Amino acid sequence: MKKITIAIDGYSSTGKSTVAKQIAKHLGYVYVDSGAMYRAITLYAIEEGLISKEDFNKEALIYRLDQIDISFKFNEALGFAETYLNGKNVEKQIRTLEVSSFVSKIAEVSKVREKLVKIQKQLGKDKGVVMDGRDIGTVVFPNAALKIFMTASAEKRAERRYKELVDRGDNITYESVLKNVTERDYIDTHREDSPLVKAEDAIEIDNSDLTLEAQYQKILALVRITLEGIE
């Protein structure tokens, strides 16, 4: 069967990675979490003291970009690839609210995007890939056979993300998660380089009132139609 590229973009916490993993598993495709790469660079910047609430030393980060190695290793038990920063597994650390609070600032830096888009294109060069992010259908794979654009109300998204963080033991408030979600939405949609925008040929899905299963079935149906169309 011919392999395709599937691009899933959208706002923070809309369920992109959940459905992307499900679709990749179903098709036997590779799933790539492009947000994890921006999060890994953010973790590096925090650990190296390059970014804080008061300050962001953008020039130093750009200067050190070549020293940042991001890789993925498939974890059989989890069923997806975990993120490694300079050889260290950082899968859990990159998901904290602290990393989320700085990541959109890091993602505004064109040199950061240049480095990561190059890796992303390389990962998808043989097709058979489902990648989620903000600019996958517009910049990374403008020729993707299927492009999905996910939306949901900010409150619903914050509720879902809050629950996820509390379940894993993080000590946070719903209000702080909602603030982060809306702040990131703003920066991601207003930045100059590769802003979050629906690609003209993307199919928009609002999942505010869709369960995970309903959302999966809806997207799976689109995948089937796309595959039938190219055979």
Q: Is 208 annotated as a binding residue?
A: no
| Shortest Å, Cβ 1 to ligand CDP | 26
Pair 17, 35: CB distance under 8 Å: yes
CA distances from 110 to 61, 65, 85, 126 (A): 12, 12, 20, 26
Among 5, 6, 7, 16, binds ligand CDP (CB under 6 A): 16
Task: Examine residue 96 and tell whether it contacts ligand CDP (CB under 6 A).
Answer: no
Among 6, 51, 70, 107, binds ligand CDP (CB under 6 A): 107
The 3-state secondary structure of 69-127, one letter per residue:
CEEEEEECCCCEEEEEECCEECCCHHHCHHHHHHHHHHCCCHHHHHHHHHHHHHHCCCC
Q: How many CA atoms lie within 13 A of 107 on its CB side?
A: 28
Q: Which stretch binds ligand CDP (CB under 6 A): 52-60, 78-86, 156-164, 223-231?
A: 156-164
Task: Examine residue 215 and tell whether it contacts ligand CDP (CB under 6 A).
Answer: yes
Q: Which stretch binds ligand CDP (CB under 6 A): 30-38, 63-71, 122-130, 168-176?
A: 30-38
| Shortest Å, Cβ 6 to ligand CDP | 14
177: nearest Cα among 189, 191, 165: 165
Residues 55-94 interacting with ligand CDP (rule: CB under 6 A): none
Please report which helix (H) or strand (E) contains residue 31, including its range: strand 30-33
Task: Examine residue 138 and tell whether it contacts ligand CDP (CB under 6 A).
Answer: no
If you search the block for the tokens 């690839």, which residue do you land on?
Answer: 81
Q: Which stretch binds ligand CDP (CB under 6 A): 34-42, 46-54, 62-70, 72-80?
A: 34-42
CA–CA distance, 146 with 148 (Å, rounded to integer): 7
Q: How far apart are the first and last CA of the chain?
A: 8
Task: Examine residue 15 and tell whether it contacts ligand CDP (CB under 6 A).
Answer: yes
Task: Examine residue 17 and tell whether it contacts ligand CDP (CB under 6 A).
Answer: yes
CA distances from 178 to 17, 52, 99, 158 (A): 19, 20, 15, 5
Q: Is 15 annotated as a binding residue?
A: yes
Task: Examine residue 184 and tell whether it contacts ligand CDP (CB under 6 A).
Answer: yes
CA–CA distance, 144 with 138 (Å, rounded to integer): 9
Between 212 and 230, whose beta carbon lies closer to ligand CDP?
Answer: 212
| Shortest Å, Cβ 37 to ligand CDP | 7
Task: Examine residue 210 and tell whether it contacts ligand CDP (CB under 6 A).
Answer: yes
Output the furthest CA–CA distance in the chain (Å, rounded): 54
Q: Applying CB under 6 A, which residues contact ligand CDP?
A: 12-18, 34-35, 38-39, 103-104, 107, 132-136, 160-161, 164, 184, 188, 207, 210-212, 215
